[in-house]
Structure 1
Amino acid sequence: MSTLPTADAARLVSRTLALPEGVVDDLLAVISAEAPAREVCSWVRRGDGLVGWGTAAEFTGHGPSRFEDAAAWWRAMCAGAVIRNEVGGPGTGPVTFGSMTYAARSPQASHLRVPAVVVGRRAGRAWVTTTTVGEALPPTEVVTEAASPGAPGEIAFADGPRTAAEWEIAVAEAVTRINHGDLDKVVLARALVARAESDLEPRWLLRRLAERYDNTWVFAVAGLVGATPEMLVRLDRGLASSRVLAGTIRRTGDDVHDLALAASLARSSKDLEEHEYAVRSVADALGRHCGSMNVPESPFVLHLPNVMHLATDVAGAVDDGSTSLDLAASLHPSAAVCGTPTALADDLIAELEGLDRGRYAGPVGWMDASGDGEWGIALRCGQLADDDPRAITLFAGCGIVAGSAPDDEVAESDAKFLPMRDALTATA
């Protein structure tokens, strides 16, 4: 069931103003210290992007129609909106941040949130958008640096629904099914539960993640916080692009050794096979909306602080009027988070994984009134607990193919937990 606007629903009214140079040196530093944890929104990479807080309007949805319902809600909200935009361009005017559940069967809700205040920066320009529901223009917002968030104190980690040993058994079963020809690839996820001494502050996590992983998109929507390296889709004035990551190796910290590992990753038949499945699924889905496509023949190696991935950037010219959320719906779930064939892999996930992913591995990002936006895959992330402000559930997943070794997959999942673990345990 979803929350949709009624015919007489009040309309959005927004005002976007340019900010003087130097007012916003750090987007994450201007998020209001008074904002409740679940109202903090972020989509930031290397200092550019969007942050928001407060709530002008919001959508929640469940089930197979969650994408369609969310898109219909946003179209209806924007159709009657009063927009005063002195800046122009993607990310200006009214903006919704979104986070969608991975599975239609999940009891958790998908979310779109229209913040009362959004501050953005792109290509050296900064702006602020204030949005309300009603008839009058909202007041302007004075953008200043907020008080620094406090550290959460000592962190205790515990297994999620399955221990590492139990999850390794599930991986072994998946490899057996693949070797029997049931399917080509499946992605299985693990969970850890972290509990802090004091309340967990999303602004603290976002800052720590941005400091350590500046080439990821640092995100927060409705209590889901993380740093994803994977752009599911970006739509900017008709040009759609998607970054595919599949095939991973852990870094050692030794630059010479890591270069050798990168070379071995680029030659690994197991990882290249996994990557090819993921690229093919994205190209096929995106191609249904595009008149022309560019799909590189070979991946490159993306270097992150803790791991390296095989990566391919796919691009296309959208010719059917789709919005960025429409494209995200078509691309989800990709082979990078589900497997191949999709339906068989998804069934095996439900059988073997032993957890509800919620919004982990679902699309997360933002969209403006024109439909332009950026949607990543919610990876390297955690979901703040609804009933305990000191608790957060962390997620990590691995692509399983015929050549997968279960103990290696456990080690890979441990590496993928590191961004959130390090952010939680940072001392400064």
Structure 2
Amino acid sequence: MSSPSPADAPTPRGVPHPALVVRTIALPTARVADLLSLLPEPEDAGDVVSWVRKGEGFVGWGRVATFTASGPERFEQAQEWWRQVTAEAIVRDDVDEPGTGPIAFGSMAYSRRSGTESVLVVPEVVVGRRGDLAWVTTITTDATVPAADEPLDRQPAPQGPGAVEFADLDLAADRWAEAVDEAVSRINAGDLDKVVLARSVRATATRRIDPRWVLARLAYDYDTTWVFAVDGLVGATPEMLVRLERGLVTSRVLAGTIRRTGDDSHDLALAGSLARSSKDLEEHEYAVRSVADALAAHTSSINVPDSPFVLHLNNVMHLATDVAGVVDDDSTSLALAASLHPSAAVCGTPTLLADDVIGELEQMDRGRYAGPVGWMDASGDGEWGIALRCGAYESARSLRLYAGCGIVAGSVAADEVAESVAKLLPMRTALGG
């Protein structure tokens, strides 16, 4: 897992030597029917990677190369490192699809001031599946091309963490509610339009928390999300910050939330009220505008739907909009993610002012929470979500869980506390709490 580094001090490390040797071969899809079940038990929670949604995506294990950086240039430094690595790699790719060949999994710190490093990880083994295609990629630093014959047997089911206790960190719920009230006062005074405030909770287990246990439960309970693990950050995000595939860029914007009750007829009525809520529509409009404006600088055309739809997840419903465009420069998926970060969905509007308010009122370092998380291949194609509904390993038996809420003029502190509780539920449930 990443170690802290001084704030605002760029500290790029990890250029591998000698060159990576990469081999990708096709597999029968039957061999990878359940990607997460293929993960071997890791010695360290940070040694598994995952990017899985509805049975498709990637899992990986081991490490061939790791890059870390902090400070304002962390995105540029990570991208330059990856370009250098892939330019020197020796590659044999029998599949030649997005995500095959050399691939890095990344998790970037939310803030340039964060004491947590951003990280790119190149695993030893990556197993992928998309539709009717499945493959395995092995990566080494040996002088000969690997055979890509890594065994892909279903692993024994991981053990649960036992009893888990949860405790507020930084700001307890009542003090966080006071921060929400202060934010609303500043918005009503005209200082800013929106700010996203987050809180954190520590989960402490009686036994080791196996990341495979957490991932499997998240995938089962929240199959419409991207279930991720990168360097000790695990979670299930519903929000695709950016996807780049062969020149087409897409971004799913989520802002405006209501908790589900479990009663289908009642939830349908709640979805209708969410779609008509002026407070939530205002919050959503800010988020969509920030994404569209950022992507416009990199695209020849862009499509922004006139109105959002309601995305139904197991625990909450969100207002959602899918933005799409055609990239007309040489931007990689990571560069596009950098141009979008932080969006109004995780920061606020105007961005710089909202970010300052976050630093003042939250009273915590978000680390890699609310930062981009995902993957990128040698061509620059990739997918980057926002690290939401997640937890960061603090030790083998402890995770720091995060949740945030968008605050606008109509926000009520008690409602925002309830929303944060709903957003903590996926990780609490995955841990057995």
Q: Would the aligned equivalents of 2:129 and 2:135 in 1 still touch at CA under 8 Å?
A: yes
Aligned with 2:377 (options 355, 368, 388): 368
The 1:35/1:374 distance shift into structure 2, 3 A limit, reads farther
The 1:21/1:217 distance shift into structure 2, 3 A limit, reads closer
Aligned with 1:43 (options 21, 37, 51): 51
Q: Distance in 1 between matches of 2:184 and 2:96?
A: 51
Query: Which residue is 1:412 aligned to?
Result: 419
Aligned with 1:31 (options 36, 39, 55): 39
Question: TM-score scaled to structure 2, two decimals?
Answer: 0.96
Q: Would the aligned equivalents of 1:35 and 1:54 in 2 still touch at CA under 8 Å?
A: no
Q: Does 1:162 align with 2:171?
A: yes
Q: What is the identity, as a one-letter code, of the residue corresponding to 1:64?
A: P
Q: What is the identity, as a one-letter code, of the residue corresponding to 2:356?
A: D
Query: Which residue is 1:74 aligned to?
Result: 82
Q: Does 1:60 align with 2:63?
A: no
Q: Distance in 2 between matches of 1:399 and 1:49?
A: 29
Q: Would the aligned equivalents of 1:292 and 1:317 in 2 still touch at CA under 8 Å?
A: yes
Shift of 1:4: 4.6
Q: Distance in 2 between matches of 1:62 and 1:34?
A: 26
Mapping 1:238-277, distance limit 5 Å: 238-277=247-286
Question: TM-score scaled to structure 1, two decimals?
Answer: 0.97
Query: Which residue is 1:194 aligned to?
Result: 203
Mapping 1:374-393, distance limit 5 Å: 374-385=383-394, 388-393=395-400
Q: Distance in 1 between matches of 2:110 and 2:72?
A: 11
Q: What is the identity, as a one-letter code, of the residue corresponding to 2:362?
A: E
Q: What is the identity, as a one-letter code, of the residue corresponding to 1:301?
A: V
* SS of residue paired to 2:30: coil
Shift of 1:187: 0.1
Aligned with 2:243 (options 228, 234, 237): 234
Question: What does the per-residue CA deviation read over 1:236-255, in whole Å, with 9 as the maximum and x for residues that have no partner?
Answer: 11100000000000000110
Shift of 1:148: 1.1
Q: Does 1:352 align with 2:386?
A: no
Query: Which residue is 2:4 aligned to?
Result: none
Q: What is the identity, as a one-letter code, of the residue corresponding to 1:309?
A: H
Shift of 1:35: 5.0
Q: What is the identity, as a one-letter code, of the residue corresponding to 2:359?
A: A
Q: Distance in 2 between matches of 1:17 and 1:47?
A: 19
Q: Does 1:286 align with 2:295?
A: yes
Shift of 1:20: 2.0
Q: Does 1:394 align with 2:393?
A: no
Moved segments of 4+, more than 4 Å? none
Q: What is the identity, as a one-letter code, of the residue corresponding to 2:19?
A: R
* SS of residue paired to 2:261: coil
Q: Distance in 2 between matches of 1:284 and 1:56?
A: 37
Structure 1, unaligned runs of 5 or more = none
Mapping 1:85-164, distance limit 5 Å: 85-140=93-148, 141-164=150-173
Q: Does 1:322 align with 2:352?
A: no
Question: What does the per-residue CA deviation read over 1:210-250, in whole Å, with 9 as the maximum and x for residues that have no partner?
Answer: 00000000000000000000000000111000000000000
Q: Distance in 1 between matches of 2:327 and 2:94?
A: 27
Q: Distance in 1 between matches of 2:334 and 2:224?
A: 23
Shift of 1:34: 3.9
Shift of 1:271: 0.2
Q: RMSD of the TM alignment (CA)? A: 1.1
The 1:95/1:16 distance shift into structure 2, 3 A limit, reads same
Structure 2, unaligned runs of 5 or more = 1-9
Q: What is the identity, as a one-letter code, of the residue corresponding to 1:333?
A: P
Question: What does the per-residue CA deviation read over 1:98-138, in whole Å, with 9 as the maximum and x for residues that have no partner?
Answer: 00000000011101000000000001211000001242212
Q: Would the aligned equivalents of 1:364 and 1:378 in 2 still touch at CA under 8 Å?
A: yes
* SS of residue paired to 1:22: helix
Q: Distance in 1 between matches of 2:231 and 2:143?
A: 27
* SS of residue paired to 2:119: strand
Q: Distance in 2 between matches of 1:28 and 1:179?
A: 47
Shift of 1:40: 0.6
Aligned with 1:225 (options 225, 229, 234): 234
Q: What is the identity, as a one-letter code, of the residue corresponding to 1:361?
A: A
With 134-143 and 42-51 compared, the bigger mean Cα shift is at 134-143
Q: Distance in 1 between matches of 2:253 and 2:12?
A: 32
Q: What is the identity, as a one-letter code, of the residue corresponding to 1:396?
A: A
* SS of residue paired to 1:142: coil
Q: Would the aligned equivalents of 1:363 and 1:375 in 2 still touch at CA under 8 Å?
A: yes
Shift of 1:345: 0.1
Q: Would the aligned equivalents of 2:26 and 2:135 in 1 still touch at CA under 8 Å?
A: yes
Q: Distance in 2 between matches of 1:52 and 1:35?
A: 14
Q: What is the identity, as a one-letter code, of the residue corresponding to 2:259?
A: R
Q: Distance in 2 between matches of 1:227 and 1:195?
A: 19
Question: What does the per-residue CA deviation read over 1:298-351, in whole Å, with 9 as the maximum and x for residues that have no partner?
Answer: 000000000000000000000101110000000000000000000000000000
Q: Distance in 2 between matches of 1:31 and 1:254?
A: 36
Q: Distance in 1 between matches of 2:181 and 2:358?
A: 13
Query: Which residue is 1:307 aligned to?
Result: 316
Equivalences, count: 423
Aligned with 2:191 (options 173, 176, 182): 182
* SS of residue paired to 1:248: strand
Q: Does 1:13 align with 2:21?
A: yes
Q: Distance in 2 between matches of 1:51 and 1:371?
A: 19
